[in-house]
Amino acid sequence: MQIAEAAQAIGIRDLRQSALMKAAHGVTSLAEITRVTKDEGLGIGESDQGIGTAW
């Protein structure tokens, strides 16, 4: 089992999931999430690929 899978199994959100929850609550924007996470290798940034599918 990978670290990310183990963390998710016990309810820990990854950076993108946490950020999307904050966007849903108006704390941040999708543009800010894309700006910050595109350098993290999360598969988003150049397009909106992945946005809205992490939940």
Mean pLDDT of the chain: 78
Mean pLDDT (whole number) for 11-39: 91
The pTM (predicted TM-score) of the whole model is 0.57
Cβ atoms of 31 and 18 within 8 Å: the answer is no
What is the SS3 assignment for 30?
helix
pLDDT digits (tens, 9 = 90+) for 45-54: 444 445 554 5
Model confidence at 55, pLDDT cuts 50, 70, 90, reads: very low
Going from the C-alpha of 49 to that of each of 1, 3, 5, 7, 38, the distances in angstroms are: 25, 23, 21, 23, 11
The fraction of the chain above a pLDDT of 90, given in percent, is: 42
Residue 27: predicted pLDDT: 96
